[in-house]
């Protein structure tokens, strides 16, 4: 019984990735994130704000306040020099896109972008720093 349950869990875990990929969700979420980061780089806070979920838009109220928060709290995202994408995964019922940004200081930072569906496509509902792995612990 335990073996059967473990097999079912493994199938469900590995099946989730291809389903997301087949639906084109990864391509869509990446495009949203790329455009928001490009908008920050161009100082276009209105365009960046458009990619935020309704929850985030209500929380910050307007593009200028949202842009100021990103510029002050996430300077590596505001001034991204390089961008790479990791896995798209569902965690605790939330769709998370791993993103690695390299800021102006040349240091890479990993973030999980929470993505939510909207009538206009995908929106960013939060950005969470990913702690680097401990080395030599």
Q: Judge residue 49's burial from the number of C-beta atoms within 10 Å of its C-beta, 0-12 exposed, 13-18 middle, 19 or more buried.
A: buried
Cβ contact 79:106 at 8 Å: no
**pTM of this structure:** 0.80
Can you tell me the distance from the alpha carbon of 132 to that of 123, in angstroms, rounded to the nearest whole number?
Answer: 26
Can you tell me the distance from the alpha carbon of 70 to that of 100, in angstroms, rounded to the nearest whole number?
Answer: 16
- Segment 9-50, tens digit of pLDDT: 333 333 344 444 546 899 999 999 999 999 999 999 999 999
- Segment 52-106, tens digit of pLDDT: 999 999 999 999 999 999 999 999 999 999 999 999 999 999 999 999 999 989 9
């Amino acid at each position: 019984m335990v073996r059967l349950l473990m097999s079912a869990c493994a199938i469900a875990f590995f099946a989730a990735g291809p389903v997301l990929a087949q639906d084109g969700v990864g391509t869509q979420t990446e495009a949203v994130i790329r455009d928001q980061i490009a908008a920050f780089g161009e100082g276009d806070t209105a365009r960046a704000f458009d990619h935020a979920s309704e929850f985030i838009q209500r929380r910050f109220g307007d593009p200028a306040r949202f842009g100021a928060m990103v510029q002050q709290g996430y300077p590596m995202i505001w001034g991204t020099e390089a961008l790479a994408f990791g896995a798209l995964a569902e965690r605790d019922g939330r769709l998370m896109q791993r993103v690695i940004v390299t800021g102006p200081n040349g240091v890479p930072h990993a973030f999980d972008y929470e993505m939510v569906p909207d009538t206009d496509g995908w929106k960013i509902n939060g950005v969470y720093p990913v702690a680097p792995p401990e080395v030599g612990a």
